[in-house]
Amino acid sequence: MFKFAMHTLAAVALVAGTAAPVFAANPKVGGAPMYETKTIVENAVNSKDHTTLVAAVKAAGLVDTLSGKGPFTVFAPTNAAFKKLPKGAVDNLLKPENKAQLQKVLTCHVVAADAMSGMIAKMIKDDGGTHDVKTVGGCILKAKMNKGRITLTDENGSVARVTIADVKQSNGVIHVIDRVMLPKTM
């Protein structure tokens, strides 16, 4: 459906080490276990904190894309994040006539790479404190560190905090965020 161009996050695929890897269990999200053997969509549908996001992905026709091979990094806003939008904004975006706009908003939360938080933090440090993250939707998010947590600033100046990082999926990784990132045009 989409052709994804690898950007600055492509370098994250080249990680080498001499020690045996240590695997940590995935955190629960929205009270549900997240399985590394399932896709982003297969896991997200079980999170009680992401029902709005799942409804939006379905309305935008992005289920097949986000169920695909990937890899994808999804910055996944919670239901509470969607409630921070102006009254009526979500209902408006979910209307069939606004499908293209909804796709743009959602793809501004997706990166065509598998970027774990440690790699993002390293890129932030290497770039002097701010790393530009180019999303599939063409948005540029500014990644920074704040009190040991990754934050993302959208093109309108809204700041989201990563509240749950490194939720591994079979086709990428999810980082839960507390705000919806919007493109400049909104």
Give tens-digit pLDDT for 7-30.
333 333 323 333 434 456 788 898
CA distance from start to end of the chain: 24
Segments making up each domain of the chain, as ranges: 33-177
Residue pair 172/93 in contact (Cβ under 8 Å)? The answer is no
Element of type H or E holding 42:
helix 40-44
Give tens-digit pLDDT for 34-61.
989 999 999 999 999 999 999 999 999 9
CATH architecture for residues 33-177: Roll (2.30)
33: confidence class by pLDDT, cuts 50, 70, 90: confident
Give tens-digit pLDDT for 126-144.
999 999 999 999 999 999 9
- Specify the pLDDT at position 186: 62
Residue pair 73/172 in contact (Cβ under 8 Å)? The answer is yes
- Specify the pLDDT at position 90: 94
Measured N-to-C along each axis, helices 51-59 and 99-107 cross at an angle, to the nearest 10 degrees, of 130
Reduced DSSP (H G I as helix, E B as strand, rest coil) percent helix, strand, coil of the chain, to 5: 30, 25, 45
